[in-house]
């Protein structure tokens, strides 16, 4: 039954962290809101991986596999954001052309329909 | 913690799969490799979110005001509780309480179905608002450049996640039925552990979707 008690303890921490995440979202954290929310989510993910997904019992291969996946995610998100942050503003979507066809801004009438699908020549 | 070798009906075909512990090691490693590919699938969606959030920071910050934060948060607690129940089910089956394990799995199935119903209620509201993905976006109350990108990402990310919840519910139903049929017990329960890991991964993905789409 010791395992069951541990599951319940980890579960209580998970529910507390979710409540904390919701509570923090009601506070004016400004630029820290996203890092704080993602940090709490990461804590929850590590707890679930180690105690619910049995990583605590399985050193070696499984930890290497999921750790490598985590590093790859970091490389993907990090390099994409680094490149996008270094772009000049006019090259970012929607680009140098004026924003057009947004609902409620320059037209009235029924909601805009999707453009007809055309097969490629 | 290794589990004792079991006389379950598996003929060892090679020396390195000779005992149950080696088979469990191989099964868990294989499951983690599969879960790593799932992580990479979702990380592409999170990367797209990060790129467009960087491009339209103000719009993405305003977007939660147009979401049903109560239902999103309720779904978080539903999934976390279902994860706890699955972990308790694995603990029960390890201790030979197979009926308790099946009951706990059945309860998590109910919570998974509840998650899908709550998600469907949210989707209905978005469809009613006209907050549809891509070129179908027609939500007058949130008509800013980038708002349609937020909702496109919302539909794709939560949609792909909902498909995973649906698959996970199917996995848990199968496991509950097989547990009731007496296929798993204290000595052999690897499929329950692996199916549970899939369900926990679905939970972990939602734990990242929830703050990004509903809270910040």
- Report ipTM (2 d.p.): 0.86
Residues 6+ apart with CB under 8 A from A120: none
pLDDT cut 90: percent of chain A above it: 50
Helix (H) or strand (E) holding B210: helix B190-210
The per-residue pLDDT of chain A, averaged, comes to: 81
Q: What is the pLDDT of residue A98?
A: 43
- Number of CB atoms found within 10 A of residue B2's CB: 12
The predicted model gives A7-35 an average pLDDT of 92
DSSP string for chain A: -HHHHHHHHHHHHHHHHHHHHHHHHTS--GGGHHHHHHHHHHHHHHHIIIIISSGGG--SHHHHHHHHHHHHHHHHHHHHHHHHHTS-GGGSTT-SSPP---TTTS--SSPPPPPPP----
Nearest Cβ partner for A80 among B39, B50, B130: B50
Tokens of B64: 């939660």
Nearest Cβ partner for B88 among A7, A62, A99: A7
Using a CB-CB distance cutoff of 8 angstroms, which residues of chain B are in contact with residue A66?
32, 35-36, 39
Q: Tell me the nearest-neighbour CA distance from B155 into chain A, angstroms.
A: 16
Res. A97 pLDDT band, cuts 50 70 90: very low
Cα–Cα dist B145/B22, whole Å? 55
Q: What is the pLDDT of residue A90?
A: 54
Q: Tell me the nearest-neighbour CA distance from A44 into chain B, angstroms.
A: 8
Residue of A nearest to B73 (CA): A22
Using a CB-CB distance cutoff of 8 angstroms, which residues of chain B are in contact with residue A44?
204, 207
Cα–Cα dist B95/A7, whole Å? 14
Query: Between residues A3 and B181, which one has the greater pLDDT?
Result: B181
Q: What is the pLDDT of residue A120?
A: 66
Domain residue limits, chain A: 9-72
Q: Which of A20-24, A98-102, B27-31 has the lowest mean pLDDT?
A: A98-102
Q: What is the pLDDT of residue A91?
A: 58
The predicted model gives A73-90 an average pLDDT of 85
Tokens of B138: 């027609």
Q: What is the pLDDT of residue A113?
A: 61
How many residues are given for chain B? 216
Cβ contact, residue pair A72, B40, below 8 Å: yes
Res. A3 pLDDT band, cuts 50 70 90: confident
The predicted model gives A56-66 an average pLDDT of 90
Tokens of B43: 């990380």
Tokens of A54: 């049995």
* CA A14 remoteness from chain centre: 18
Cα–Cα dist A112/A109, whole Å? 8
- First-to-final CA distance of chain B: 40
The predicted model gives A40-65 an average pLDDT of 92
Domains annotated for chain B, with CATH where assigned, are: 63-215 (1.20.120.80)
Cβ contact, residue pair A73, B54, below 8 Å: no
- Span B81-139, pLDDT tens digits: 999 999 999 999 999 898 999 999 999 999 999 999 999 999 999 999 888 888 888 88
Cis bond upstream, residue A101 (ω within 30): no
- Do B112 and B83 form a contact (C-beta atoms < 8 A)? no
Is the pLDDT assigned to residue A96 strictly greater than 50? no
Nearest Cβ partner for A66 among B36, B51, B210: B36
Using a CB-CB distance cutoff of 8 angstroms, which residues of chain B are in contact with residue A85?
54
User: Exposure of B193 by Cβ count < 10 A (0-12 exposed, 13-18 middle, 19+ buried)?
Assistant: buried
Ranges in chain B, pLDDT < 50: 1-6
DSSP string for B122-134: HHHHHHHHT--SG
């Amino acid at each position: 039954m010791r395992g069951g008690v541990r599951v319940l303890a980890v579960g209580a921490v998970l529910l507390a962290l979710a409540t904390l995440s919701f509570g923090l979202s009601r506070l004016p954290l400004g630029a820290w809101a996203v890092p704080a929310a993602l940090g709490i989510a990461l804590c929850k993910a590590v707890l679930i991986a180690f105690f619910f997904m049995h990583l605590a019992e399985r050193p070696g291969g499984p930890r290497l596999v999921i750790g490598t996946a985590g590093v790859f995610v970091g490389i993907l998100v990090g390099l994409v954001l680094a490149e996008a942050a270094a772009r000049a503003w006019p090259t970012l979507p929607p680009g140098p052309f004026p924003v057009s066809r947004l609902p409620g801004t320059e037209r009235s009438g029924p909601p805009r329909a999707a453009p007809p699908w055309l097969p490629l020549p | 913690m290794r589990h004792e070798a079991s006389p379950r009906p598996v003929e060892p075909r090679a020396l390195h799969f000779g005992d149950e512990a080696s088979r469990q090691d191989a099964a868990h490693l294989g499951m983690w490799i599969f879960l790593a590919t799932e992580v990479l699938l979702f990380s592409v969606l999170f990367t797209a979110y990060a790129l467009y959030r960087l491009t339209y920071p103000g719009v993405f910050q305003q977007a939660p005001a147009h979401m049903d934060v109560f239902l999103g948060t309720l779904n978080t607690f539903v999934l976390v509780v279902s994860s706890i129940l699955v972990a308790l089910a694995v603990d029960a089956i390890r201790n030979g309480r197979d009926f308790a394990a099946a009951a706990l799995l059945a309860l998590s199935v109910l919570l998974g179905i509840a998650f899908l119903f709550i998600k469907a209620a949210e989707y209905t509201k978005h469809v009613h608002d006209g907050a549809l993905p891509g070129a179908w976006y027609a939500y007058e109350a949130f008509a800013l450049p980038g708002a349609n990108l937020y909702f496109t990402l919302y539909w794709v990310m939560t949609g792909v996640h909902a498909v995973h919840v649906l698959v996970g519910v199917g996995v848990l139903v199968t496991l509950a039925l097989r547990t009731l049929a007496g296929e798993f017990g204290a000595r052999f329960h690897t499929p329950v552990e692996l199916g549970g890991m899939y369900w926990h991964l679905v939970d972990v993905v939602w734990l990242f979707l929830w703050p990004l789409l509903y809270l910040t």
